[in-house]
Amino acid sequence: MRMLDGKVVMITGGARGMGAATARRCAAAGARVVVTDVLTEEGGATAKEVEGRFVEHDVTSQESWDRAVAATLEEFGRVDGLVNNAGIVVTASIEHHSLEDFERVLRVNLVGVFLGLKAVLAPMRAAGGGAIVNLSSVAGLTALPGTAAYGASKWGVRGLTKMAAQEYGSARIRVNSVHPGMIVTPM
């Protein structure tokens, strides 16, 4: 028996990079994988590769989250895992950062994680528990010059993860964050 046999795992930003690699690993461990992304062609290809399901999904939209979770529940009847991987980066010093870019990074990287938590907690509780992994970054552990919005969003992911772990641990829902360093991958 493989570690994730019978489990259903949603992976945001699963079209390429770390998300696609996570989809491959979860599928190899026996999970039924739901790849979500705004990149429909690449996302569909990743889902096909892992014999999973693709759902077009904008993590910044509550309605899009509702549709993605509903599609997962309709096809598989449960959500056991969520990997909040979707993310973007804009590099600029604080004085050269536009408010528009700052807010866009926060919407994808932090608000997207918040909406993901909100969307899967009830189905996970109904299933008797689950696991959520939020992708933060080394930028969520230490200051990296030129990453004001990205760093702020990843510090926020770290804090939100700790709050969710405290609030939902008693429901057998584990919530953790990982903090990779610089990885050469498309974003």
Owner of token pair 């461990």: 29
Separation CA 15–CA 86 (nearest Å): 9
Are the C-beta atoms of residues 137 and 96 closer than 8 Å to each other? no
Give the DSSP letter string of 138-161. GGGTS--TTBHHHHHHHHHHHHHH
Separation CA 50–CA 3 (nearest Å): 16
Q: Which residues are marked as active site?
A: 150
Separation CA 178–CA 133 (nearest Å): 7
